[in-house]
């Protein structure tokens, strides 16, 4: 067997470690609302582990396992908290890896992923706030609710620009880390 090819046991181990870490981070995030965003990010970074060796099927299985195990191990009463992870954060590393693998134009990929991110924000706005933030009798909340799609689209896209850049760099860091483990 060539040294360039991963052994099946190594692929399974990386995927299992990825899934286990992601479940732990998501559970901590669902138990403490203050750590929810951190849980999403750390779980997403955990799902980058199999992608560092181009183990796409292992990554998809780790993502599915993470979603199921997180619900079964403690988030069953708070499934709505996992919607952003299920819709976007858990799949974003795979989208980045496939973008690089198939050499998709970075601006086209950015537009598609930004719209995807903004749509996720809009869904969360509906789920969390029920289409209305704050007391609608107050002018500031009325303006916010009237122009929420504009705020989500512009603000979400600007935030996503920085976020996507950071996640690409995190993937490079994870790739170097796993390369050291393999040696």
Residue 1 above 50 pLDDT?
no
Between 116 and 137, name the one with better pLDDT: 116
Euclidean distance between CA atoms 56 and 15, whole angstroms: 10
Whether residue 2 is predicted with pLDDT greater than 60 in this model: the reply is no
More confident position, 147 or 59: 59
**Exposure string over 97-116, b if 16+ CB within 10 A, otherwise e:** bebeeeeeeeeebbeebbee
Q: Residue 142 has what pLDDT?
A: 77
The pLDDT-based confidence of 147 (bands split at 50, 70, 90) is: confident
**64-77 mean pLDDT:** 90
Provide the mean pLDDT of the chain. 89
CA-wise closest residue to 42 among 156, 170, 175, 180: 170
What DSSP designation does 32 have?
-
- Angle at the Cα of 23 from the Cα atoms of 172 and 159, rounded to 5 degrees: 50
């Amino acid at each position: 067997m060539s040294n360039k090819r991963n052994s099946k046991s190594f692929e399974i181990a990386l995927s299992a470690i990825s899934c286990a870490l992601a479940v732990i981070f998501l559970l901590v995030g669902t138990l403490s609302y203050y750590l929810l965003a951190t849980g999403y990010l750390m779980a997403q970074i955990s799902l980058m582990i199999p992608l560092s060796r181009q183990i796409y099927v292992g990554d998809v299985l780790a993502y599915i396992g993470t979603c199921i195990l997180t619900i079964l191990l403690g988030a069953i009463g708070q499934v709505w908290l996992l919607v952003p992870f299920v819709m976007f954060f858990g799949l974003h590393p795979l989208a980045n890896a496939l973008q690089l693998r198939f050499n998709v134009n970075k601006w086209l990929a950015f537009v598609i992923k930004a719209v995807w991110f903004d749509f996720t924000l809009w869904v969360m706005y509906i789920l969390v706030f029920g289409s209305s933030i704050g007391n609608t009798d107050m002018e500031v909340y009325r303006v916010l609710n009237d122009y929420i799609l504009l705020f989500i689209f512009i603000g979400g896209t600007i935030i996503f620009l920085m976020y996507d850049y950071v996640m690409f760099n995190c993937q490079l860091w994870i790739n170097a880390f796993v390369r050291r483990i393999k040696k």
